[in-house]
Amino acid sequence: MNIPENYDATPHSISVNTIIERYCLDKMYVPENIDKKIIDSAEVYRPGLQLAGYLEGFCPERVQLLGRTEMNFLGTLSREERQKRLDAYMHESIPCIIISNSQPVYDEIIKSARLKRVPVLRTYEGTAVFLAMLISYLNLELAERMTIHGELLELYGVGVLITGHSGVGKSETALELVKRGHRLIADDVVEIRKVSQTTLLGTSPEIIRHFMELRGVGIIDVKGLYGAGSVKDIDSIDLVINIERWDENKKYDRIGMEEKYTEYLGIQIPSLTLPIMPGRNMPILMEVAAMDFRQKKMGYNAAKEMYERVNRKFENNT
């Protein structure tokens, strides 16, 4: 895959303090170097085997989560054995240890954590709920990413990325779609994040979020003009629609049988091209494209249905 010029190859990380503030975690023990503690892996580790003494393959660079199972197991050990297991398990590379369900924290955990300067935190959330929330957040914040020029909107629950050359009318089309009740995610600059091997999420840089640039008018606040229901902070990228000026020498798909894709960060996204010419209502065409995409996801393809009907008609006549 050719890496585009706007590909962000910088490894991303977030501070442990960010996690503490976001999830209102209790600080059971925080070392002086807490500001230097960072998280650069989206994976969260539950150290069941490690507490039992098996340390081969252990990944200390991940956030460690201790649920009821791990804490109950530690409770079955004598104080001496518990301290021995925790000392063997504790590693200075651990970003932090989080204990779920507001469980009491053994003194041995704090003692061992002090020696290796590992933050010990606690949440009132259940293990499964907190694990899901944390992994989802880390996947988003640490995701591989790139930025492109375009518009991102939600049309009938479909994340539609509008691309095309500058001045072709992307912002004007997006504004009309917002006026028709759809939601704007990003104008002009779309930040794409790869959160899994099959999913791309799109958002806007925070500094320009909910704003739109219109030539001749200037900058407008979409949220202020059309209300909170007209915008959205982030959405999946399900369909790419490329706008281009009508080229009489180019053949455009009139049936819809040919499936085309656009690749971003190694993921293929269904795409189509809409040529602009006088008399074409681009917002309506995009609404129809989004609804047709939903139909296809539900297993119905109008083009294939018509093709099969025509074939059956010819077969019956012969």
User: Out of 122, 170, 182, 183, which one is annotated catalytic?
Assistant: 170
| CA–CA–CA angle 137, 140, 144 (5° rounding) | 150
Sequence letter at residue 178? V
Q: Is 174 exposed, middle or buried (0-12, 13-18, 19+ CB in 10 A)?
A: buried
Provide the pLDDT for residue 1.
37
What pTM does this model have?
Answer: 0.82
Tell me: the pLDDT tens digits for 251-269? 777 777 778 999 999 999 9
In three-state secondary structure terms, 271 is: strand
Q: Virtual CA dihedral for 131, 135, 141, 143, nearest 10 degrees?
A: 170
254 catalytic? Reply is yes
User: What distance in Å separates the CA atoms of residue 280 and residue 289, rounded to the nearest whole number?
Assistant: 14
Closest among 222, 233, 228 to 152, alpha carbons compared? 233
Residue-wise DSSP of 106-156: PHHHHHHHHHHT--EEE-SS-HHHHHHHHHHHHHHHT-EEEEEEEEEEEET
Least confident interval from 115-124, 222-231, 253-262: 253-262
pLDDT at 35 exceeding the cut of 70: yes
Domain with CATH 3.40.50.300 in the chain: 144-300
pLDDT confidence band for 307 (50 / 70 / 90): confident
pLDDT of residue 316: 76
Phi/psi of residue 223, each to 5°?
A: -65, -40
The fraction of the chain above a pLDDT of 70, given in percent, is 97
| Lowest pLDDT segment from 118-132, 135-149, 244-258 | 244-258
84 catalytic per annotation: no
Question: d(Cα 62, Cα 19) in Å, to the nearest integer?
Answer: 13
Question: Which of 22, 36, 68, 149 is flagged as catalytic?
Answer: 149
Predicted confidence (pLDDT) at residue 216 exceeds the cutoff of 90 = no
C-alpha to C-alpha distance for 264 and 238, rounded to whole angstroms: 12
187 is catalytic: no
Of 60-64, 165-169, 246-250, 271-275, the least confident: 246-250
Mean pLDDT, rounded, of the chain = 91
Question: With 0-12 CB in 10 A as exposed, 13-18 as middle and 19+ as buried, what is 14?
Answer: middle
Average pLDDT of the residues in 14-20? 96
Mean pLDDT, to the nearest integer, of 161-167?
A: 91
Between residues 33 and 126, which one has the greater pLDDT? 126
* Structure confidence by residue, pLDDT tens digits, 57-95: 898 999 999 999 999 999 999 999 999 999 999 999 999
Active-site residue identified among 188, 209, 223, 294: 188
**For residue 269, which phi and psi values (nearest 5 degrees)?**
-115, 130
For residue 222 the two structure tokens come to 């979409």
Name the CATH architecture for the domain at 144-300.
Answer: 3-Layer(aba) Sandwich (3.40)
Mean pLDDT of 288-311: 86
Mean pLDDT of 12-33: 95
Whether 292 is a known active-site residue: answer no
Q: Which of 3-7, 24-28, 249-253, 308-312 has the lowest mean pLDDT?
A: 3-7
CATH class for the domain made up of 12-140: alpha beta
pLDDT value for 9: 59
Which regions of the chain carry the CATH code 3.40.1390.20? 12-140
CB 100 within 8 A of CB 65: yes
